[in-house]
Amino acid sequence: MRVSEHISINLKGFRWLWQKERRAVLLIVGCSLLGATKSYIPLYFSAKIIDSLVLRAPVNTLVRYVLLTVGLAFLFDAVLRFLEPRKGAAFNRIFQNERWSYGEKAMQMAYASIEDTEVSVLRERIRMESQTGYNLFYLLHTVDTTIYTVAQIICSLMMTLPFFAAPAVQLWHKLLFVGMLLISVAVESICEVRFTRVSNEFMDECVMENIRFEKYGTYIADYGTGKDIRLYGIAESLLRDWEKGSAVLHEKAKKRSRGWLKADTPRLIMDDAVKFAANAVLIAAAISGAVSVGSISKYVSAVVKLLWAVTYLSRTVMLAAANSQYLKRYFSYFDIPNNMYKGSLTVEKRDDTEYYVEFRDVSFRYPGSESYALRHINFKFKIGEKLAIVGKNGSGKTTFIKLLCRLYDPTEGEILLNGVNIQKYDYDEYMSIFSIVFQDFSLFAFSLGQNVAAAKSYDPQRAERCLQMAGLGERLRSLPQGLDTCLHKHYDKEGVEISGGEAQKIALARALYKDAPFIILDEPTAALDPVAEYEVYSGFDALAGEKTAVYISHRLASCRFCDTVAVFDMGEIVQSGTHRELLADTGGVYHALWHAQAQYYTEKNG
Ligand code: ADP
């Protein structure tokens, strides 16, 4: 990385901090300035007091110096005591906000990016690097120490200026000082470069190990995976793998510690040597009478502080340089654009429900995938119709729905709503016309009512009605806390664990609560018992009402309730028509699927 790149990425970081965390930055600046200058008060005034004593100055001069020393020290301390806890709280908030930013970014990203392996590895990587201190923590540290050390350098220079200006001080003493400063900066910089190289190597070597280690940790502790772990006896091999991963990380961490020690040793030696030399030069200058008695301790302390501040500043600069490659990666995640084209057309609200949707020669490949999940799909359906989509596993049914509701855009071709490419509609408005229940729907550890409404506050009567329609009325009445019952026991010991079928009904109720003109159900009865399945089928017309219903199902019996059936096979629509029409085509896929299922039921029954 070039120097200009280091500077620009750190500046970007500071601007970012300033925009997001102005209060924290101001607190850091305030505390650093006060903390850095505080120690110079007694230094400055003690020299004045000693010189006044030596020169037998009037008592009130002495008293004034003493009062100023005590008063200023008290004032600085009081302000610092007031600011420090606020600074600590502001730091905490920054790291909480950072965690929230990951979530916020994930929500803003195109769905395709979230699924992308490169993006998820990048997210995990920067998350771990941040936990180790890189990114924001080191950026804050850079602000903090730069201000602190620069303030100390200015104060030290102001205090040592008379030493350099004094003609009585020999030139070689002055040069020795400057030489020591330069040498310690050089040693410090070389050591810091080596130190950083060791840290970076460790971080780079451990990316995948860390991610795996973290993932295994969640598998082991997670309640959701606990069942399979126990039933299939995976616990031991998981723990063994986890232990193995931990041993590898431990070995690498040991190697890093050895590397750090090697890199650090010269600067530790250098630190002590420079302090010793500074003291020796000043004592020599004092003995020769070039500096006053009162000034000796002032100069010694100021020079030691100057050396410390200069070396620490150079260390900070090196750390900021090391952090810049991490910051670059950090921002590369937050800068991932959402390339989904988002139009601005409003979705027309029509009373006659005369909408139609058309897939025009649509083909689609998942990001990073070589093969097409959908090929040359040409299909039209009218709003208000009930459409069934059938086909074997992996034939492209869910992908078709994902494209319809813009989780992805087609690789080729276009999808039209009333003749207009769906990309031209306002994204949020377009999304709002769909109520979808995917197979892998998620329910949250919120209250039942909040899960149905997908919102914190909701209309309880409407939520109850939807649960009733979805077939969960009886269960709802059996819950003492009704809609306020928390799902799962993660945060509430009064929470309830629900069965797969009940979960599916809640997801259905959520789709009904949204009351969108399109209702799409992906295998909505897979987890239901036969009675509940029959209820959903027979009550489906009432459930869907005037809405367009798209219904993905393996159970062909459900197709009899629909106006049109589309049959998918290997990413193509190979047949479409009514249940009767398709069944009449004895050479077709539908006929074969129907008879395969009928035979299955007969064999079972027999
Ligand atoms: P169906 O719903 O009919 O079971 P899908 O639409 O889920 O089928 O899948 C169609 C094809 O796309 C399958 O070959 C599947 O492996 C592939 N596929 C599904 N999701 C992804 C994904 N996120 N990334 C890559 N390929 C996928």
pLDDT in tens, 324-347: 999 999 999 999 988 777 777 887
The protein residue whose alpha carbon is closest to atom 27 in ligand 1 is 366
How many Å lie between the centroid of ligand 1 and the Cα of residue 390?
A: 14
pLDDT-wise least confident of 238-252, 398-412, 505-519, 564-578: 238-252
pLDDT at 603 over 50: no
Whether residue 398 has its Cβ less than 6 Å from ligand 1? yes
**Encoded amino acid at 19, one letter:** Q
Rg, Å, the chain Cα set: 36
What is the reported pLDDT for 139?
Answer: 93
pLDDT at 606 over 50: no
Distance CA 101, CA 138 (A): 18
Alpha helix segments (H runs only) across 349-396: none
Give just the sign of the alpha carbon dihedral 504, 509, 514, 517: positive
Give exposure, 273-294, as e/b (b: 16+ Cβ within 10 Å).
Answer: ebbebbeebbeebbeeebbbeb
pLDDT at 542 over 80: no
Token pair 């505390």 in the structure block, residue: 31
The protein residue whose alpha carbon is closest to atom 24 in ligand 1 is 366
The protein residue whose alpha carbon is closest to atom 13 in ligand 1 is 394
Q: How many CA atoms lie within 13 A of 516 on its CB side?
A: 24
How far does the chain reach from its first CA to its final CA, in angstroms? 74
How many Å lie between the centroid of ligand 1 and the Cα of residue 66?
A: 80
526 pLDDT band, cuts 50/70/90, is: low
Full-model pTM: 0.70
Distance CA 355, CA 382 (A): 6
Within 153-251, strands assigned E span none
The protein residue whose alpha carbon is closest to atom 8 in ligand 1 is 394
Condensed to tens digits (0 to 9), the pLDDT of residues 560-597 reads 778 899 999 999 999 999 999 999 999 988 998 888 87
Tokens read off for 360:
């025009």
Whether residue 371 has its Cβ less than 6 Å from ligand 1? no
Distance CA 306, CA 184 (A): 11
Q: Mean of the per-residue pLDDT values for the chain?
A: 85
Across-strand partners of 417?
357, 420
Region 115-138 average pLDDT: 87
The domains found in the chain, sorted by start residue, are 3-334 (1.20.1560.10), 376-433+518-606 (3.40.50.300), 441-515 (3.40.50.300)
Instruction: Note the residue count of the chain.
Output: 606
Region 54-79 average pLDDT: 92
Residue 327 contacts by C-beta under 8 Å, 6 or more apart in sequence?
A: 9, 10, 12, 13, 134, 135, 139
- Percentage of residues in the chain having pLDDT higher than 90: 33
For residue 568, which atom of ligand 1 is closest to its CA? 3
Task: Reduce the DSSP state of residue 566 to 3 states and report it.
Answer: strand
